[in-house]
Amino acid sequence: MRFSFEAIATLIIGVLLTSCGGGGTSSSQESFVAGNGSVTFIKPDKRVEAPTLTGMTLSGTKYKFIVGQVAVVNVWASWCSPCRAEAPTLAALANKYVDVSFMGILTRDNPATAEAFQRRFALPYPTFIDDSLLIGFKGSLQANAIPSTVVIDKKGRVAARISGEITVASLTDLIERVSAE
C-alpha cells in the first residue's frame, strides 16, 4: 500500500488540529490557569481600593462585605484540584481568625456542584456566585489563577494575593501582617 506525501501530510495536520481543540465543545476546566502559590504583598502606601463585594451567595442569600476588618477572598471552582486541596485549610483558618471576614467567589462552575463542594468541606463563609466581581480587581492584584486568594486590609484596599493554592503558613503570614497594620 503506497501513500502519497499529500495524504500523509493531510493526515498529520488533521490529527494535530483535532488534538488542539476540545472537539468543538469547551468546558470550564480547559482554559483555567493554575497558580504556583506565589505571594504578592503590596506596601500600604501603594494599595488601591478593592471592589465592592456584594451579591447573591451559593446559599441563596444576599451578602455585602462591610469595610473595616481584614478580609480574605478566595476564588475557586469545585472542579479545580488545588481548590479541593486548599479547602480544609481555608475552613480551618476561617474558624481560627473569627475577626477576619472570609468570602469566596465561585468562577466557571455549576452552582449545584459548588454547593456540594461547600458542604463537603464545611466552608464556614459565604461564596458569591457572580464571578463578574473579579472585574473589580482590575488595576490591583487580579485573581489571575484558580485558585487565587486576595487579602483586603481594614481600609478596604487590596493588600496581598496568593496565586494558586494557599498554605497555612502563607495565608497566616498575610493575615497577621495585614491585621497588625
The per-residue pLDDT for 145 is: 79
Determine what percent of the chain is predicted with pLDDT higher than 70. 79
The per-residue pLDDT for 172 is: 97
Helix (H, G, I), strand (E, B) or coil at 157: strand
Count Cα neighbours of 73 within 13 Å in the Cβ-side half-sphere. Answer: 31
> What single letter denotes the amino acid at residue 154?
K
The per-residue pLDDT for 89 is: 97
Cβ-contact 180, 152 below 8 angstroms = no
Q: What is the pTM of this model?
A: 0.79
The per-residue pLDDT for 35 is: 61
Region 66-81: mean pLDDT is 95
Closest CA to 100 of 119, 124, 136: 124
Question: Does an H or E element contain 171, and which?
Answer: helix 168-179
Closest CA to 117 of 137, 152, 135, 90: 90
The per-residue pLDDT for 21 is: 30
The per-residue pLDDT for 25 is: 29
Could you give all domains of the chain from N- to C-terminal order, each with its CATH number?
28-179 (3.40.30.10)
DSSP 2-17: ---HHHHHHHHHHHHH
The Cα 63–Cα 40 span in angstroms is 27
Q: Name the average pLDDT for the chain.
A: 83
pLDDT (tens digit per residue) in 112-163: 999 999 999 999 999 999 888 988 888 777 677 789 999 999 999 999 999 9
DSSP 72-122: EEEEE-TT-HHHHHHHHHHHHHHHH-TTSEEEEEE-SS-HHHHHHHHHHTT
The per-residue pLDDT for 19 is: 30
Per-residue confidence at 8, pLDDT binned at 50, 70, 90? very low
pLDDT (tens digit per residue) in 78-106: 999 999 999 999 999 999 999 999 999 99
All cell numbers assigned to 151: 487579602
Question: Does an H or E element contain 159, and which?
Answer: strand 158-163
